Amino acid sequence: MPFIDKIDPATTLSLTSLIPLDDGQVNSRTLVQRDDMSMTLFSVATDEEIGGHTAEGDALVNILSGEAEVTIRKKAHRVPAGQSILIPAGARHSLYALEGFQMLLIVVKPQAEN
């Protein structure tokens, strides 16, 4: 059984083709959802935002197209296509689309103790 079962294995693909970039919308598509890790594709239309929130794990934001303003602990960072930024666990953050963007978000969470 594959761990990433939402895309075909051993097939070359463009992740941007898996998530539409629609005017006025924020879209998401989960690729993996586990207790200790998640991988999700997002698209955020120009001038739209994923509002302030926190995550219990480290979040690696990989911008695939467009340009985002990622605010971490009240400090804004411009992140264009082809660039990534790491958001530490527990840090309040938000994402704003300077230009409509698509991203792959990978969140690694602490493993539950037995």
Percent of the chain with pLDDT over 90: 89
**Interval 85-95 mean pLDDT:** 98
Residue owning tokens 């960072």: 77
d(CA 60, CA 3): 19
| Burial degree of 11 (CB within 10 A; 0-12, 13-18, 19+) | exposed
**Interval 92-113 mean pLDDT:** 94
d(CA 39, CA 29): 9
**Interval 52-74 mean pLDDT:** 97
d(CA 2, CA 11): 14
